[in-house]
């Protein structure tokens, strides 16, 4: 394998490691929120530092790669995509941490009725699926899958848009549960952000794969 490919592979591996770490944060976050699990929340919050150090490490690796290999074409687009995906992963990590902080403040799990009405868990699961599929799309360099992911974000937005009305009504009927309702609203907002961030990452995958228009290959196909 050419030296430049060895380095690119190292970068990709590092990013996938970070992806796993943030996935762990997000998945645990679901449990922590569902069960108002303070201990688990604390662990998620602690992971933030580890995610940050991955972020710095990947930034530095990209910087070195630019300086030493002066990449062009698909190599250049790959490293640019890795840089941007890295930033988005770090932010999703922040978001997971933020949700864990809300879970910490809960003294009991959310009212199942409120959970049902808002569809928050459907939203959470959808965000997790998007997040995981995006990892697959990056790993297998699959812009088609990336495009499907972007479409899925609509479902999250739909739930998000309805949430304030639903929660508003719920709070009218349950005025003693205002902090709970507001916490849930914040979590829904954060999940909507996760959807946007995953969408950004999916766009990066399409950018770096598809700017590579392989005219030469097309020509060959025509002849066949």
Partner 1 sequence: MNIKHSKLEAINLDAYYGDFHALKSINIAMEEKAVTAFIGPSGCGKSTFLRTFNRMNDYIDGFRIEGQILLDGRDIYTDDVRVDELRKEVGMVFQKPNPFPKTIYENVVYGLRIQGIKDKKILQETCEKSLQQAALWNEVKDKLDKSALALSGGQQQRLCIARALAIQPSVILMDEPASALDPISTAKIEDLIYELKKDYTIVIVTHNMQQAGRVSDHTAFFYMGELVEYAKTKTMFTSPKDTRTQNYITGRFG
For binding to partner 1 (CB under 8 A), which residues are involved?
A: 2, 4, 70-77, 211-217
Residues 6 or more apart from 180 whose CB is under 8 A from it? 106, 110, 111, 114
Shortest reach from residue 222's CB to partner 1, in Å: 14
Nearer to partner 1, 77 or 91 (CB): 77
Contact between residue 154 and residue 192 where contact means Cβ atoms under 8 Å apart: no
Nearer to partner 1, 4 or 182 (CB): 4
Shortest reach from residue 192's CB to partner 1, in Å: 32
Nearer to partner 1, 73 or 165 (CB): 73
Shortest reach from residue 149's CB to partner 1, in Å: 23
Shortest reach from residue 2's CB to partner 1, in Å: 6
Nearer to partner 1, 5 or 17 (CB): 5
Distances (CA, A) of 5 to 1, 69, 72, 129, 202: 6, 11, 13, 30, 22
> Cα separation of 152 and 42, whole Å?
31
The torsion defined by the Cα of 75, 94, 157 and 16, in degrees rounded to 10, comes to 30
């Amino acid at each position: 394998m050419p030296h430049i490919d060895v380095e690119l592979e190292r970068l990709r591996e590092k990013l996938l490691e970070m992806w796993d770490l943030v996935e762990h944060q997000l998945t645990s976050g679901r449990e922590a929120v569902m069960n108002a699990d303070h201990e688990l929340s604390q662990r998620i919050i602690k992971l933030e530092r580890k995610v940050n150090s991955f972020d710095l490490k990947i930034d530095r690796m990209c910087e070195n790669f630019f300086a030493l290999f002066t990449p062009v074409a698909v190599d250049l687009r790959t490293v640019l995509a890795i840089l941007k995906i890295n930033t988005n992963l770090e932010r999703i990590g922040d978001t997971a941490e933020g949700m864990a902080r809300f879970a910490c403040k809960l003294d009991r799990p959310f009212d199942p009725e409120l959970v049902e009405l808002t569809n928050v868990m459907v939203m959470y699961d959808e965000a997790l699926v998007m997040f995981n599929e995006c990892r697959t799309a990056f790993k297998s360099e699959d812009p088609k899958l990336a495009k499907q992911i972007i479409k899925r974000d609509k479902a999250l937005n739909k739930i998000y848009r309805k949430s304030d009305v639903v929660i508003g009504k719920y709070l009218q009927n349950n005025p003693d549960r205002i902090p709970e309702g507001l916490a849930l609203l914040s979590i829904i907002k954060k999940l909507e952000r996760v959807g946007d961030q995953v969408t950004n990452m999916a766009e990066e995958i399409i950018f770096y794969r598809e700017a590579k228009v392989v005219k030469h290959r097309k020509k060959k196909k025509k002849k066949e």
